[in-house]
Structure 1
Amino acid sequence: MKKISLFYIFLIFLFILSLGFILKTGQNLEPVKVNFHSSQTSPEQNTKTKNHLSKNTSSRPDFLDLEAMGKIFSGHLKQPISRLLLQLIVIMFSARFFGKLATVLGQPSVIGEILAGILLGPSLLGLAFPEGFQLLFPKESLSTLQILSQLGLLLFMFVIGMELDLQILKNQAESAVVISHSSIMFPFLLGAGLAYFIYVPLAPEGVDFIAFCLFMGIGMSITAFPVLARIILEKGLTKTALGSLALTAAAADDVTAWCVLAIVVTIVNAGSFSSGILMIVMSLTYMFVMWKGILPLMKRAGNVYTTKESMTKSITAFFFLFIFLSAWITEAIGIHALFGAFLAGVVMPDKKELRDNLVEKIEDFSLTVLLPLFFAFTGLRTKFGLLSSSGLWPIFFLILFVAVLGKLGGSSIASRMSGKNWKDSLSIGILMNTRGLMELIVLNIGYDLGVLSEEIFSMMVLMALATTIMTGPGLKLVEFLFTKGGLTAKATSNAGILISFAQHSRGLELLKIAYGLFPEKKKKER
């Protein structure tokens, strides 16, 4: 054995013996506070110190005391960082598992992540394992979870903004505004009409009809911009004219809807229209500044910082600061922080290399870790136990029917009037009918203000989930009807074959070629 090994063993042995001797010798010592000042310690302070010491000494566990060790371990689990890590583990695993399951079933993975949040919430986990639910998601820990989820949503919306084709947006700006405003006015009017019939039996006591009516209208008008964006991203429609138009219309829809929501909130709070109008003016001003002032500067930056070598840590930090600053400005205005992040992505340089580098730095972490927290946090706040009364189900289906009719119908009609064919019009209507968790944010505002009762809140939440689940099957149904035996196929089957030829001998040869291309025509004539 080498000398260095012997020295190492001796050093460890000496360390253990010395430390054990010090601990054993000082075990019976008691500290005596030495007063270095003129005043002496009061008898009450000495008594309090002795009691604290005796309490700590008595609570010192024996290594064989499993009960005491279990209490210490449980206390460690209740530490904020320990609980947050456990929440991340559970939420990420649940989101990935149910996201994959939803994909297998033909649904977007976002549906599985939403359902994962509901399964972890009070509606299921809280009922089946209340103690485990309280240990995993105590109320004091939800604020941290909410902040992280909002951060993930901001980064995701920045990526979605970068994915947009600005040239397509310029060509479709007029159509997008018409579609978005139609998708607000139609469901808003139907929701207000529905409020007239359900106000008496279901509105909270003491709530003014105008406030209830306006919140039912705005609750029907929301399109889930982030959920719709993620569905479009997963289906590969981001670079298509249909996907860009739907995403642009949804963005305009939510900006307008949030402005209308601000006006509604001011009315509910006995305010005036002036604050809502001011917010709209500030929002339009900020968009103008971003488009005319920041966009040209970003184009210049794109000519310099394109390669990975040029994307230093300082430059990357600058882009992150730009994202958060834009989000902070829109949050301060009152429309929502995520639109600031989206606008920051839209005005980024259109250099593919630069965008790819930023997406690589942001997308994986935000999509995998942070964004599922957004769905989980919202699921933790929903309760479906209030729908146990069978008398509420007919009202729920009426709410669902009105929501689908207003959103899908209004968007589809406006899209058709803008020149789109029926296939694209219905597809846009189905995409705009996606409400998701942006709807839940609006509902929570109404619930916190006391405008929406628990019953209405629960039914509207269920409506939001149902309309989101409809999106995938609805798009497939439209694709089937217009491409596989539906309207397009029927129109083709009624068409004939026109052959032009000068010589009679060439007619038979051309007819054989035509039948080779369209064999169904030969069978039909037979």
Structure 2
Amino acid sequence: MPSHQIELLFLDLALILLLARGLGTLAARIGQPPVVGEIVAGIVLGPTLLDGDLAEALFPSDVKPLLTALASVGVALFMFTIGLEIEHQALRGAGRLTAGAAIGSTVLPFLLGIGMAAGLLRDHAGGDTAVFTVFVGLSVSVTAFPVLARILADRRLSTTSVGNVALATAAVVDVVAWVALAAVQAVAGGGSEHWRVALVVPFTAALVLLVRPLLRRVLLPGGRVVPLGPGRLVVVLTAALLCGAATEAMNLHYIFGAFLLGVVVPRDAVAAALRATIHERTTQITGFLMPVYFVVSGLDVDLGGLGPDELADLAAILTVAVAGKFAGTYLGARSQGMPGRPAAALASLMNTRGLTELIILGVGLQLGLLDGTLYSLMVAMAVLTTALTGPLLTIVLRKAPDVPAPDVPAPDVPAVPSRPEPARAPARTSHSGTRRA
């Protein structure tokens, strides 16, 4: 590698980290998830500003492949952490309330997205029309489980019933989204070797029956918890990358293999603390690599030349994405007896898309299902809907509700003791017989 290439790569990495960190911190200070600022950092460094001259000067063609490689590693490890966060207990114990909310949150925006895709076909269709239509429907049905979990933690809603329902619903929606995306890629990207996709069935079985016991033996020798040293962490991360390579060889995206490994990591009570440590260590790595992914994604986003037609498309995409998610989740939750305000709060939370949406859009761009303009509009939708979640939740929740949700298990987090109610004076009875506080 030439010296000037190394110099520019290091300068680019430093700039990316500083800008992503700065805008992420600024986003957090104004009540937004840091990921909103980090995605904006990627857009700022892309061709949106100065007609692409800035992007071309900072990221020439001989440096882009190096950044793309780092971004791919970051996304693979990020998807591994998403798999770690998916709670098996929440999926197994999802009752009628979670099922109703998840169905509504997925089906209605998906159907509206399919209808919207019919209007986008004329100017933006790429590849197979049917696959394009399904992909657009999927793109507006996504919820970002990791971002939603962090919003709940920031607002101290994680241990409320609304928070429990939101986490369980988002976990179900996430799993459905990744399975659907795998199916879309199998059809769109399989070429003449569609048979390779079928290998995912024995691959998944091998992960459950062989890899999981091996991980337990490596991570929990003798069934007891030992400190997670560098050697054991390397084993886990190597396995995640190998699983990503395996699904890529099956004509599926590498994110699926890394995600599946995260799902099969042992999850019993003994392994809970170890899994949290693996998540924390991996997140430290992705904290360095994911801003690179935002910039690589931003290099394909050009919002500078949007005309009236493109702005009209953006308005339609936003309307379908927000209204479909909100109405679908609200109606699904209400159909199972959830009161109005908590159901509206849940519907607001499910509009969080964040990085999950960005990954799905990246797959669509790679498959040729999205052209540059539609990809840019969809990325703008992902940023705006994530940014709208906090203000919308504030409007809905004048004060945090906590409604009974006995059929939804609480996530694996320590219970937060509630504050005792302030003492109240006993009620007094007046001479007329009415009770007064």
TM-score (norm 2): 0.76
- CA RMSD in angstroms comes to 4.1
Q: Give 1:339-418 correspondences, 5 Å limit.
A: 339-345=259-265, 347=267, 350-351=270-271, 353-355=273-275, 357-359=277-279, 361-367=281-287, 369-387=288-306, 389-418=307-336
Q: Which amino acid aligns with 1:127?
A: D
CA distance in 2, matches of 1:301, 1:240: 36
Q: Of residues 107, 112, 117 in structure 1, which corresponds to 2:32?
A: 107
Work out whether 1:190 is the aligned partner of 2:112: yes
Q: Which amino acid aligns with 1:114?
A: I
> What residue ranges of structure 2 are gaps of 5+ in the alignment?
402-424
Contact 1:302/1:354 (8 A) holds in 2 = no
Q: SS of the counterpart of 2:390?
A: helix
Q: Which amino acid aligns with 2:51?
A: L
Shift of 1:429: 2.4
Residues 1:185 and 1:346: Cα distance change in structure 2 (over 3 Å):
farther
Q: What is the aligned-residue identity percentage?
A: 33
Work out whether 1:79 is the aligned partner of 2:5: yes
Q: Which has the higher contact order (CA 8 A, sep 6+)?
A: 2
CA distance in 2, matches of 1:144, 1:234: 35
User: What's 2:237 paired with?
Assistant: 320
Contact 1:103/1:109 (8 A) holds in 2 = yes
Q: Give 1:228-247 correspondences, 5 Å limit.
A: 228-232=148-152, 234-235=154-155, 242-243=162-163, 245-247=165-167
Residues 1:422 and 1:218: Cα distance change in structure 2 (over 3 Å):
same
CA distance in 2, matches of 1:280, 1:500: 66
User: What's 2:17 paired with?
Assistant: 92
Q: Of residues 93, 113, 130 in structure 2, which corresponds to 1:210?
A: 130
Shift of 1:471: 1.5
CA deviations 1:123-145 (Å, max 9, x no partner) are 12x537x2x53342123322332
Contact 2:83/2:262 (8 A) holds in 1 = yes
CA distance in 2, matches of 1:354, 1:411: 34
CA distance in 2, matches of 1:411, 1:230: 20
Shift of 1:118: 0.9
Contact 2:157/2:400 (8 A) holds in 1 = no
Residues 1:454 and 1:142: Cα distance change in structure 2 (over 3 Å):
closer
Q: SS of the counterpart of 1:434?
A: coil
Q: Which amino acid aligns with 2:334?
A: R
Shift of 1:93: 0.8
Q: Which amino acid aligns with 2:173?
A: D
CA deviations 1:306-349 (Å, max 9, x no partner) are 3x4xx444334333344444555555563624423531556376
CA distance in 1, matches of 2:67, 2:73: 10
CA distance in 2, matches of 1:232, 1:225: 11
Contact 1:159/1:345 (8 A) holds in 2 = no
Q: Which amino acid aligns with 1:210?
A: A
Shift of 1:106: 1.3
Residues 1:431 and 1:351: Cα distance change in structure 2 (over 3 Å):
same
CA distance in 2, matches of 1:290, 1:230: 33
CA deviations 1:450-473 (Å, max 9, x no partner) are 444444333222222211211221
User: What's 2:378 paired with?
Assistant: 460
User: What's 1:136 paired with?
Assistant: 58
Contact 1:179/1:414 (8 A) holds in 2 = yes
Q: SS of the counterpart of 1:480?
A: coil
Residues 1:312 and 1:216: Cα distance change in structure 2 (over 3 Å):
closer
Residues 1:356 and 1:220: Cα distance change in structure 2 (over 3 Å):
closer
Q: Give 1:146-185 correspondences, 5 Å limit.
A: 146-159=68-81, 162=84, 167-172=89-94, 176=98, 178-185=100-107
Q: Give 1:465-504 correspondences, 5 Å limit.
A: 465-480=383-398
CA distance in 1, matches of 2:172, 2:164: 12
Shift of 1:94: 0.6
Higher helix share goes to which structure?
A: 1
Shift of 1:174: 6.3
Contact 2:330/2:344 (8 A) holds in 1 = yes
Contact 1:116/1:376 (8 A) holds in 2 = yes
Residues 1:291 and 1:510: Cα distance change in structure 2 (over 3 Å):
farther
Contact 1:108/1:234 (8 A) holds in 2 = no
CA distance in 1, matches of 2:195, 2:99: 23
Work out whether 1:221 is the aligned partner of 2:141: yes
TM-score (norm 1): 0.65
Q: SS of the counterpart of 1:411?
A: helix
Q: SS of the counterpart of 1:79?
A: helix
CA distance in 2, matches of 1:171, 1:187: 25
CA distance in 2, matches of 1:211, 1:254: 20
Q: SS of the counterpart of 1:470?
A: helix
Contact 1:260/1:276 (8 A) holds in 2 = no
Work out whether 1:122 is the aligned partner of 2:39: no
CA distance in 2, matches of 1:283, 1:253: 23
Contact 1:295/1:347 (8 A) holds in 2 = no
CA distance in 2, matches of 1:390, 1:163: 41
CA deviations 1:358-412 (Å, max 9, x no partner) are 4554433432x2232222322222111341x123323321221111122222223
Deviates more, 1:191-200 or 1:156-165: 156-165
Q: Of residues 158, 175, 196 in structure 2, which corresponds to 1:255?
A: 175
Shift of 1:89: 1.0
Contact 1:266/1:272 (8 A) holds in 2 = no
Work out which of the two has the higher radius of gyration on C-alpha atoms and give 1 or 2: 1
